[in-house]
Amino acid sequence: MSTSILVSVEAGVQRITLNRPDKLNAFNPEMHGLLRAALAQADSDPAIRCVLLTGAGRGFCAGQDLSEREVKGGDAPIDLAVTISVYYNPLVRRMRALPKPIVCAVNGVAAGAGASIALACDLVLAARSASFIQAFARIGLVPDSGGTYFLPRLVGRARAMGLALLGDKLAAEDAERWGMIWKCVDDDKLPEEAAKLAQMLARGPTRGYGLIKRALEASTDNTLDAQLELERDLQREAGFSGDYREGVAAFLAKRKPEFTGR
């Protein structure tokens, strides 16, 4: 039976593959439901210590499926806010609040909400032939799924505005150069590099990683004072973890740490 999301777990890594290649993995309600379930599993299952998100076929994700009845419109105007409230906003919130790292392997074009969702991930690798398109303005819409939040913070207002207004294709190499993503790699190396990175993170101090995510998330809007207080609180929590004890013990014994994620 075909399914719009493929999920597997191996060596602490949950691999999620968006799987509607004929539509460049554009989102429909089934895909949203399955992705939401996969992320809930990633959150609750201690055996999962890193998520790896990618796409099947030649695209990563073309955003919302524009042929869906609920968004296509017709004679009567459609309230797109419903789609956003029910599907996209909860997805982005879930990704950013997940206390485990999410690696994104952008294997091809990431357009519209597909680009925003890639940027919502924690470490974004992209194939050299991949690209990012703020496709929204091309159809009269506004970047959503966090696009207007992530873009200016990653690349600055001038570039964010250019991308959002013009809807031009940004090549993966330029996205790396602009600091929008972590790294651009040769197409044939992407699966291997992304898997290596995810496996490494899955062997890391998972609780500490979750706290790092929280700290960086809060830093965007915090004053220095508030951030210093938050760092203190998060460090307290990290300092009570088994992985901190292991990290220090391994350092002093001049051996590699064996983190358990606790």
Question: Contact positions toward ligand LHQ, by CB under 6 A?
Answer: 23-24, 26, 62-67, 71, 80, 83-84, 88, 109, 111-113, 133, 135-136, 139, 141, 144
The residue (of 13 and 181) whose beta carbon lies closer to ligand LHQ is 181
Q: How far is the CB of 180 from ligand LHQ (least distance, A)?
A: 17
Q: How far is the CB of 31 from ligand LHQ (least distance, A)?
A: 12
Q: How far is the CB of 144 from ligand LHQ (least distance, A)?
A: 5
Task: Report d(CA 193, CA 47) in Å as an integer.
Answer: 22
Q: How far is the CB of 63 from ligand LHQ (least distance, A)?
A: 2
The residue (of 3 and 67) whose beta carbon lies closer to ligand LHQ is 67
Q: CB–CB of 194/125 below 8 Å?
A: yes
| Residues contacting 180, CB < 8 A, separation 6+ | 119, 124, 132, 151, 154, 155, 170
The residue (of 63 and 247) whose beta carbon lies closer to ligand LHQ is 63
Task: Report d(CA 198, CA 97) in Å as an integer.
Answer: 18
The residue (of 32 and 49) whose beta carbon lies closer to ligand LHQ is 32
Q: How far is the CB of 136 from ligand LHQ (least distance, A)?
A: 5
The residue (of 111 and 180) whose beta carbon lies closer to ligand LHQ is 111
Phi-psi region at 157: left, alpha or beta (left = phi > 0; alpha = psi -120 to 50) = alpha
- Residue 139 tokens read as 């159809």
Burial of 39 (0-12, 13-18, 19+ CB in 10 A): buried
